Structure 1
Amino acid sequence: MRSILSLSSVLLVLKLCSGEWCYQSQFSCSGTCAEPSQWQKLFPNCGGRSQSPINIVTRKVQYNQTLVRFIFTGHEEVLNIAVENHGQSAYFQLPPSVRLSGGGLPSTYKAVQFHLHWGEYGGQGSEHSVDGERYPMELHIVHIKDKYNTVTEAKNDSTGIAALAFFFEVSKEPNKPFNRVIEALGRVQYKGNSSKIEGFRLADIIPEASELSYYRYTGSLTTPSCDQIVVWTVFQQTLNISRQQLGSVAQQLLFKKEKPLTGIFRPVQDLNGRIVYTSEASHSPYAQPGLITLFLCLFCVVGQQSCFH
């Protein structure tokens, strides 16, 4: 029995020494990649206390009046962008002219890339969840502080990266502008493949900043090396996608042995005492005492008026 356990330990070490990480859906007993529960053995930061994604419990969020509206710059700009398959997802590169400010952020940030997380065959696939509910897909737009040139430089700053997260919700009608993203994914099926999208605008798939309310917390990258340097913004408004489109997304990229790349999300992590804030006063339970006070005042006024008649 002891020799069997020893052999298992050796095999685990050999797998981890390969240095390759993967999602749970890609892990197999015969594989050599480390699935999410093993990430911290390869990347110690993945075992930190401020990890992402998280489950947002709406009855516990706190209203923060400094969380004002965002200013999106460059979203209307017509872009020619590159897309590349990195093995665990595809990254759509964005130019630094796409910028982010406002929103209670400590600085102006410039865009680096956006990517998607989705489930298996149209099932739950978002990384963050709200009151335990997960959505079929989640979009992340990654930015770094304006003063940095690369993500590597930004990793030395506790607020070096600002990430915007949008949930997708299934609708009856297709999201036609999003078809260009799906088609681009189909042109980069294998790790290392690259392609381009010409005449692309973020404004075609992202709502205007003035229309958005959001949650805010501090966390980490959701892929190794899981650096705890991210100011996360999770938007309450969802993006639409049809079930057919969602099914198409899950078929575009391929993992090893022609297996579709699906289930590409990290499980939710412990909050460990962190506070999640909201930009909407009416969304927070801490705003309710103000309403109660208002009703009491009105009651008193009505009562006093009745005394004078």
Structure 2
Amino acid sequence: MIKKENYFLIFSLLFVRTVSVSSFGYSKRQQHMWSQEFKKCDGNLQSPIALSTKKSVRLPLPALEMNGYHDFLFQPLSLKNNGHSVSLNFEKNKIKNKRSPFIFGGLLNINQEYELEGLHFHWGRKNDRGSEHSLNGVRYPMEMHIIHRNMAYPKMENAMVNVDGLAVLGIFFQLQDNDNENLKPLSQNLPSIRWIDNQISLNTSITLSSLLPNDIDTFYTYRGSLTTPPCSEAVTWIIFSTPVPISFRQMNQFRILSNGEDILADNYRKLQKLGKRKVYLRKLIQNYSSYYNQFDVNVTSLDWYWQ
């Protein structure tokens, strides 16, 4: 027979275990502890990284194709404060006769398509930080991630254990005085999700293309990981060099959110070691078409790592 105090001990251990798995923090100490619970967080292909134009391999890579990005995202759409970020989600099983947006091209697997799963943001408490990746020494105040699953894998849990399972678009945000009208469907609803686990349904229409930078032809791409636990090394990153504008007022609307204990901000991971990984840069140049014809890239022969 189990004594009453032992019941309490078992309950306490189960409670601590549940909290430790479902929660994590962004302080220096907390990030250091991630790998104790999630071994992949100490892997060799971790993200984010410091991107450098000079250290990237510049090639005339195929364009990234985006299907359905100009269509209005189907309802129901929901905006949620999950304590770690703000996420935009939709319920695929309620969609009939309409396909989710998907991407292909670039250095993604030939003849494979990656379907939209959702998007979220990372931002700083102050304007000199917030983005997860840095570009040429600059850390922007916010970065958005649009997550896609390789349709060769039926579910996210399958995709997350394969090196080619996910493709994530990274978009930087740069401050300006005037509001970005395209962001208003999201930013104006942030006060409604101020507290952790608050979620609202959006009754406004939005397209993914409206959230992208003007230049989507220039991007960096490399093999990496999720930037939050479990840090699965399953991501092909595609990061646009041109930022999206956001006003000071809109940026501050993100900073009114709560994570349950404090302001929800500085929710970005420290930079990880690049190691032997290659970073490719697709950048159009003058007279690009003739250059491309002279240097036709066989993407299947490109290696993601230095030997």
Same fold, judged at TM 0.5 (above): yes
Aligned to 1:274: 277
Q: CA deviation at 1:52?
A: 0.1
Which residue in the other structure is 2:157 paired with?
A: 152
Please state if 1:103 is matched with 2:99.
Answer: no
Superposed CA deviations along residues 240-280 of structure 1, whole A, max 9, x for unmatched, are 011121111211x21224x2201110010001111111112
The counterpart of 2:251, out of the listed 236, 246, 251, is: 246
Q: What CA distance in whole angstroms lies between the structure 2 residues aligned with 1:129 and 1:46? A: 19
Separation (CA, whole Å) in 1 of partners of 2:17 and 2:218: 43
Deviation at 1:173, TM superposition (A): 2.2
Match of residue 201 from structure 1 = 207
Runs of 4+ in structure 1 off by over 4 angstroms are 14-17
2:41 matched residue in structure 1: 46
Contact 2:124 2:268 in 1 (8 A): yes
**1:59 equivalent in structure 2:** 54
| Whole-angstrom distance in 2 between the partners of 1:101 and 1:272 | 27
| Unpaired stretches in structure 1, ≥5 consecutive residues | 1-13, 28-33, 284-289, 291-309
Tell me the SS of whatever aligns to 1:50. coil
State the distance in 1 between where 2:128 and 2:263 align: 14
Residue number among 181, 187, 199 corresponding to 1:182 in the alignment: 187
SS of alignment partner, residue 139 of structure 1: strand
Per the normalisation by structure 2, the TM-score is 0.78
- 1:18 matched residue in structure 2: 20
In the superposition, relative to structure 1, how do residues 16 and 62 fare at CA in structure 2: closer, same or farther (>3 Å)? farther
Matching residue's letter, 1:254: S
- Looking at structure 2, the residues matched to 174 and 109 of structure 1 have their Cα atoms a distance apart, in angstroms, of 32
CA contact (8 A) 1:16 1:42 kept: no
Query: Deviation digits for residues 208-260 of structure 1, max 9, x if unmatched?
Result: 6x743100100000000001000001101110011121111211x21224x22
1:124 maps to amino acid: R
Is contact 1:122–1:247 with CA below 8 Å preserved after alignment? no
Contact 2:113 2:151 survives alignment (8 Å): yes
**Higher helix proportion, which one?**
1
Percent of aligned positions with the same letter in both sequences? 29
Given that residues 184 and 196 in structure 1 are in contact (C-alpha distance below 8 angstroms), is that contact kept between their aligned partners in structure 2?
no
How far did residue 281 of structure 1 move? 6.3
106, 117, 142: which one aligns with 2:122: 117
1:116–1:139 Cα contact (<8 Å) kept: yes
Q: Which residue of 1 aligns with 2:301?
A: none
CA RMSD of aligned residues (A): 2.4
Match of 1:158, SS state, is coil
After TM superposition, give the deviation of residue 17 of structure 1 in Å: 8.1
Structure 2 counterpart of 1:56, one-letter code: L
Instruction: Provide the rounded CA distance (Å) in 1 between the counterparts of 2:139 and 2:213.
Output: 21
Unaligned runs of 5+ in 2: 1-15, 93-98, 292-307
Query: Are the aligned partners of 2:217 and 2:284 in contact in 1 as well (CA < 8 Å)?
Result: no
Query: 1:75 & 1:281 partners in 2: Cα distance?
Result: 22
**3-state DSSP class of the match of 1:255?**
coil
Question: What SS is found at the alignment partner of 2:251?
Answer: helix
- Residues 219 and 241 in structure 2, CA contact (< 8 A), matched pair in contact too: yes
Change beyond 3 A, Cα 1:17–1:57:
same
Letter in 2 for 1:23: Y
Residue number among 210, 226, 229 corresponding to 2:231 in the alignment: 226
Residues in 1 aligned to 2:210 and 2:202: alpha-carbon distance in whole angstroms: 13
Cα 1:16–1:37 shift into 2, 3 Å: farther
TM-score by length of 1: 0.77
Deviation at 1:180, TM superposition (A): 1.4
d(CA) in 2 for partners of 1:197, 1:207: 23
Q: In structure 2, do the counterparts of structure 1 residues 127 and 42 end up closer, same or farther at CA, with 3 Å as the change threshold?
A: same
Give yes or no for the alignment of 1:128 onto 2:130. Answer: no
Aligned residue number for residue 87 of structure 1:
83
Q: How many residue pairs get matched?
A: 259
Which residue is 1:9 aligned to? none
Preserved contact between residue 171 and residue 213 of structure 2 (Cα < 8 Å): no
Per the TM alignment, residue 121 of structure 1 is displaced from its structure 2 partner at its CA by 3.8
Counterpart position of 1:294: none
Amino acid at match of 2:211: I
